[in-house]
């Protein structure tokens, strides 16, 4: 609480006591004031008491209004209020993904259901019925449940709901769910001979950028969006490092609408030491871009776009997850039919852009000399459980990581 002295144009002096408080309905801070005429200690004490009473009455009134509103508050209204508040705190692409979950929630819990009548058992039965009806995967149900948690947590914090009925609900995965998840992960991971076969096929493609991109991803563990955002200025060839500070956003966008955003997590902005084969891949790609740019300056094309990105399509635009996934899918299909004849083993994998992040981390984690925090630092993980439990790193050097990934590259002939 503080006091202000104010003087009107006619010379009259007045005083104001000012205090802020939190609106229990919205969680926002509000201001309350009381005017008084004398600046004496007694007058200030009286103003303080009046202001305290005013704030108490305001809060009680808001809380009473909150309780009254909660009586007729429906799930549809709660879902809308939460979404409007939540979407201001996340990235546009995250909002788009969540909109699909919101649509599913409209099918799970009737929108006219009163929030005060929703119990943990009701939520569990609704989720079970939805999963049975649509044969939804366990991961889909986990996402839906996570959103329900956030919605009802919002109701507890800002709407006066005494507890969250969603928190007590537990999803259980079946043995088939666990086996299926393991099989899907195994299909995305490649062993040494599979990496060799894939790289050979990539080398045969018309645009060498995809081959160089793959080498870079294996050498750094970067996300495809982070690689798509890279420009020459992000690479320090003297130090042999790359600075990750942006992520390319392209989902459901035309090329001219692509934009750079921050990396996925707070730890995503980082500097990585590069193994030699990744440095060489960057150099070759940059040199190729110069040749292509020069050719299009001499013979302009309406379809070509000049770009600062290191990894580009034949038309100059940054390589996106969609471009890369489409190419990998074609190679997967070709290898499924021809791998045994050409390379001597059956192709059973489904390589995707994120596969190379798994490969990078797995190579480093297979060597006990590489400390876990160093791996986290390289790939931009925030939480230790993403890779393992709590540890402490005594050095910021990434020398061991570079050595291990370089040894692996040398083993399978990558340069």
Look at the chain and report how many structural domains it folds into.
3
Same domain, 306 and 331: yes
Q: Is the pLDDT of residue 129 over 90?
A: yes
pLDDT of residue 358: 87
pLDDT of residue 62: 59
Q: Report which of residues 53 and 120 the model is more confident about.
A: 120
For residue 307, what pLDDT is reported? Answer: 93
Q: How confident is the model at residue 28 (pLDDT cuts 50, 70, 90)?
A: confident
- Mark whether 261 and 211 lie in a shared domain: yes
Residue 275 belongs to a domain:
yes
Domain-embedded: residue 24: yes
Would you call 143 exposed, middle or buried from its count of C-beta atoms within 10 A (0-12, 13-18, 19+)? middle
User: Three-class SS string for the chain?
Assistant: CEEEEEECCCCCEEEEEEEEEECCCCCCEEEEEEEECCCCHHHHHHHHHHHHHHHHHHHHHHHHHHHHHHHHCEHHHHHHHHHHHHHHHCCHHHHHHHHHHHHHHHHHCCCCCEHHHCCHHHHHHHHHHHHHHHCCCHHHHHHHHHHHHHHHHHHHHHCCCCCCCCCCCCCCCCHHHHHHHHHHHHHHCCCHHHHHHHHHHHHCCCCCHHHHHHHHHHHHCCCHHHHHCCEHHHEECCCCEEEECCEEECCCCCHHHCEEECCCCCCCCEEEECCHHHHHHHHHHHHHHHHHHHHHHHCCCCCCCCCCECCECCCCCECCHHHHHHHHHHHHHHHHHHHHHHHCCCCCCCCCCCHHHHHHHHHHHCCCCCCHHHHHHHHCCCCHHHCCCCCCCCCCCCHHHHHHHHHHHHHCCCC
Mean pLDDT across 321-341 = 96
Would the pLDDT of 64 be above 90? no
Decide if pLDDT at 392 tops 50: no
- Domain annotation covers residue 112: yes
Q: Which positions ≥6 away from 195 have C-beta within 8 Å?
A: 218, 359, 412
CATH number, domain of 201, equals 1.10.443.10
Residues 230 and 335 in one domain: yes
- 170: nearest Cα among 211, 120, 241, 207: 120
Region 67-81: mean pLDDT is: 90
106/223 same-domain check: no
User: Do residue 251 and residue 360 come from a single domain?
Assistant: yes
pLDDT higher than threshold 70 for residue 396? no
CATH number at residue 123: 1.10.150.130
User: Residue 389: what pLDDT?
Assistant: 32
Q: Which of 146, 172, 198 is the last residue of a domain?
A: 172
Regarding whether 149 and 24 lie in a shared domain, the answer is no
Residues 271 and 230 in one domain: yes
What is the value of pTM for the model shown? Answer: 0.69
Is residue 396 domain-resident? Answer: yes
- Residue 181 is assigned to a structural domain of this protein: no
For residue 391, what pLDDT is reported?
A: 32
End-of-domain residue from the set 172, 203, 225: 172
Contact (CB, 8 A) for 249 and 92: yes
Let me know if residue 178 belongs to a domain.
no
Which residue in 209, 186, 248, 220 sits closest to 327, CA to CA? 209
pLDDT number for residue 299? 94
143-169: average pLDDT: 93
Average pLDDT over residues 287-296: 96
177 is a domain residue: no
Confidence of residue 388 (pLDDT cuts 50, 70, 90): very low
- The segment with the largest mean pLDDT, out of 90-104, 227-241, 356-370, 375-389, is 227-241
**For the chain, percent of residues with pLDDT exceeding 90:** 54
pLDDT of residue 390: 27
Q: Which residue shows structure tokens 């076969």?
A: 197
**235 and 309 housed in the same domain:** yes
Predicted pLDDT of residue 74: 95
Measured N-to-C along each axis, helices 355-365 and 209-220 cross at an angle, to the nearest 10 degrees, of 40
pLDDT for the residue numbered 133: 92
Q: What is the mean pLDDT of residues 213-224?
A: 95
Mean pLDDT value across the chain: 88
Select from 99, 100, 93, 94 the least CA-distant residue to 257.
93
In a domain, 374, yes or no: yes
User: The tokens 């009737």 sit on which residue?
Assistant: 110
Give the range of the structural domain holding residue 209, as residue numbers without chain letter.
188-411
Q: Which two tokens stand for residue 49?
A: 């008491």
Q: Are residues 380 and 233 in the same domain?
A: yes
pLDDT at residue 233 is higher than 70: yes
**Within this chain, do residues 153 and 242 fall inside the same structural domain, yes or no?**
no
Selection from 245, 392, 206, 213 nearest residue 310 by Cα: 213
Tokens 């630092």 found at: 377
Query: What pLDDT is attached to residue 63?
Result: 60
| 233 and 348 assigned to the same domain | yes
pLDDT, residue 393, reads 40
Question: 26 pLDDT band (50/70/90 cuts)?
Answer: low
Shared domain check, 196 and 161: no
Structural domain ending residue among the three candidates 72, 97, 132 = 72
């Amino acid at each position: 609480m503080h006091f202000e002295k104010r003087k009107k144009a006619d010379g009259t002096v007045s005083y104001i006591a000012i205090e802020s408080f939190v609106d229990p309905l919205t969680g926002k801070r509000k201001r309350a004031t009381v005017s008084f005429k004398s600046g004496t200690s007694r007058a200030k004490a009286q103003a303080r008491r009046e202001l305290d009473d005013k704030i108490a009455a305001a809060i009680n009134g808001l809380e009473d209004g909150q309780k009254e509103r909660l009586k007729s508050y429906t799930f549809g209204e709660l879902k809308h209020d939460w979404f409007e508040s939540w979407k201001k705190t996340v990235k546009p692409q995250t909002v788009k993904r969540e909109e699909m979950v919101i649509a599913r929630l409209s099918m799970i819990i009737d929108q006219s259901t009163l929030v005060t009548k929703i119990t943990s058992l009701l939520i569990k039965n609704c989720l079970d019925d939805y999963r049975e009806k649509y044969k939804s995967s366990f991961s889909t149900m986990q996402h839906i449940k996570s959103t329900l948690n956030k919605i009802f947590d919002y109701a507890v914090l800002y709407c006066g709901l005494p507890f969250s009925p969603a928190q007590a609900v537990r999803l259980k995965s079946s043995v088939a769910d666990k086996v299926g998840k393991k099989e899907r992960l195994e299909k995305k991971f490649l062993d040494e001979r599979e990496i060799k076969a894939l790289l050979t096929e990539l080398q045969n493609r018309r645009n060498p950028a995809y081959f160089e991109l793959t080498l870079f991803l294996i050498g750094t563990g970067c996300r495809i969006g982070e690689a798509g955002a890279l420009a020459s200025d992000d690479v320090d060839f003297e130090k042999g490092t790359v600075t990750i500070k942006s992520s390319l956003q392209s989902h459901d966008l035309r090329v001219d609408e692509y934009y750079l955003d921050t990396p996925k997590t707070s730890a995503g902005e980082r500097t990585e030491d590069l193994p030699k084969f990744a440095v060489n891949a960057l150099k070759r790609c940059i040199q190729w871009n110069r040749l292509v740019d020069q050719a299009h300056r001499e013979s302009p094309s309406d379809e070509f776009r000049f770009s600062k990105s290191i990894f580009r399509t034949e038309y100059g635009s940054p390589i996106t997850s969609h471009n890369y996934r489409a190419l990998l899918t074609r190679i997967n299909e070709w290898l499924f039919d021809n791998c045994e004849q050409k390379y001597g083993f059956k192709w059973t994998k489904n390589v995707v852009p994120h596969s190379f992040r798994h490969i990078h981390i797995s190579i480093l984690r297979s060597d006990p000399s590489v400390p876990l925090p160093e791996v986290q630092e390289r790939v931009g993980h925030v939480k230790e459980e993403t890779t393992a439990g709590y540890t402490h790193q005594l050095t910021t050097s990434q020398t061991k990581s570079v050595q291990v990934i370089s040894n692996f590259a040398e083993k399978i002939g990558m340069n």
